[in-house]
Amino acid sequence: MDETTGLLSDYAATLDDDELTEDAVHGIARCVVDSMACALAAYPMDAMAAPRALAGAATGDPPSHVFFSGEPTTPDLAAFANSFMVRYLDYNDTYLAKRGGHPSDTIPAVLAAAEIAGASGREAVLGMVVAYEVFCALADADGLSVPGFGATVSIEVASALGAGKLLGLDQAGLANALALAMAGGLTTGGSRLERLSMWRAGAAVNGARNGVFAALAASRGITGPHDPFAALMRMAGSSEEAVGLPPLGGRGRGFNTARTHMKAFPAEYHAQAPIWAALEVRERIRAEDLAELRVDTYAHTMGGIGTGGAKWEADDPDTALHSLPYLVAVALADGDVTPAHFTPERLRDPRVREVMGRVSVREDPELTALYPEVVAARVTGVARDGTTAEAECRHPKGHTKNAFSDGEISEKFRRCAGGVLPPDAIEPVLGRLWALDREGSVSGLLDAMRVSG
């Protein structure tokens, strides 16, 4: 096997529970509470009926289960449906790196494997730490970007190794799981261009599903390519065969579980700072008095959510979640951005549409030079009478330099759980999620989150 496959599979096989620091365990608890909040927020949305129905059409022996509704299904389809809920509203954590991404996409993959393994919460935490470490290392690695392809390889490999850890695979089995996930998992970059679809989230979600399926296949003895990373490096045009990985956590080194950025609003990460700045402008200029709203941001934002006619149309939830004009217009018009702003009715709100027509977005080279060490945006509002209001946000709430407290993550969970979980279940479930490492059974915890209807 190639060097990178050997290094990552050996890491997953040998990382031990006694190497986990208190910070690593608590960091995972924060990510799990936040991720479950995101899943609860997405659960009532019409779009989430399809992944649940797809999962419910199959049955595993033993089964894993769909979050909240509790349909029994196969582990890979549980990972698919559950990761879709975590990811759909673009409300879950983000890791800013060469390729970046959302490491919490892997949490449902690990939980699906934990269910069929009869694992404890502590065992699930160990699998999640493996997944987070692998994800972040690959996101930071050199030489893995293949022109025209998406960046889901981090999710596929991390999910395969995290799930494989729960299934008890040895180093050889984990290497096969990794290889199988990579061999069938490359995605094109087209899911993020212009008008978006559910596959905006689904490409990464399918990476989590692929990872679980690969771990299951490896557990049955199916083998994968011997040198998957060397092959990927050749596709990327590199003459190297080993990926330049940063050090992984453990063995006296810190872990990555506290290095991800969380979100105050359901919106693509690079819209968080502009939303906060727009809310500050709103304190001085009313939407009905607005003549112009200018957003200055860094180049990465422009390429993802700030250019193209579809971003100013944004008449479907998938495009709107990645539309900077829509998101700042909602903030200015309504004073918040919530899951309710992505229903068909709210997407057609004439007040928001009028503000969108007054939004312009441009790159500020100074902000580009500061990124990624500084995440910043500036919003300038001009009223019809010539009044000007300008606001700048640096490190939006949830960024690691402006992190949520545990209490703020709990409040996010309570807001998202309202109307989904029974009122008398919210606090007990929240307490158990924070104490995941002391849960005797992952299945028991998921049962406690089941809702009727």
* Averaged pLDDT score across all residues of the chain: 93
C-alpha 61: how far from its chain's center?
29
Q: According to the model, what pLDDT value does residue 238 have?
A: 61
Q: What pLDDT is attached to residue 239?
A: 57
Measuring CA to CA, which residue among 310, 344, 305 is closest to residue 328? 305
Question: Domain coordinates of the chain in residue numbers?
Answer: 3-264+435-448, 269-396
Q: What is the pLDDT along the chain (453 residues), one digit of tens a residue?
A: 889 999 999 999 999 999 999 999 999 999 999 999 999 999 999 999 999 999 999 999 999 999 999 999 999 999 999 999 999 999 999 999 877 799 999 999 999 999 999 999 999 999 999 999 999 999 988 666 655 455 688 999 999 999 999 999 999 999 999 999 998 766 665 555 667 999 999 999 999 999 999 999 999 999 999 988 887 777 666 656 667 788 999 988 999 999 999 999 999 999 999 999 999 999 999 999 999 999 999 999 998 899 998 999 999 999 999 999 999 999 999 999 999 999 999 999 999 999 999 999 999 999 999 999 999 999 999 999 999 999 999 999 999 999 999 999 999 999 999 999 999 999 999 999 999 999 999 999 999 999 975
pLDDT at 240: 63
Q: How far apart are the first and last CA of the chain?
A: 49
Give dist(CA 280, CA 9) in Å, integer: 48
Smallest CA-to-CA distance from 396 within 219, 287, 267 is with 267
Residue 432, CB half-sphere, CA atoms under 13 Å: how many? 19
Selecting from 1.10.760.10, 3.30.1330.120, 3.40.50.150, 3.40.50.2300, what CATH number does the domain 269-396 have? Answer: 3.30.1330.120
What separation in angstroms does the CA of 360 have from each of 194, 218, 311, 312, 316? Answer: 17, 51, 11, 10, 20
pTM, to two decimals: 0.95
**Residue entry with tokens 């089964």:** 63
Q: How far apart are CA 113 and CA 124, in angstroms?
A: 9
What was the pLDDT predicted at 145? Answer: 61
Structure tokens at 47: 């779009």
User: Could you give the dihedral angle defined by the CA atoms of residues 329, 333, 338 and 342, in that order, rounded to the nearest 10 degrees?
Assistant: -60
Identify the pLDDT of residue 437: 98
* Tally of residues, the chain: 453
Fold of 3-264+435-448: 2-methylcitrate dehydratase PrpD (1.10.4100)
Would you say 28 and 268 are in contact if contact means Cβ atoms under 8 Å apart? no
The predicted pLDDT at position 273 comes to: 99
Q: What is the CA radius of gyration of the chain?
A: 21
Which amino acid, 105? D
Contact at 8 Å (CB) between 37 and 266? no
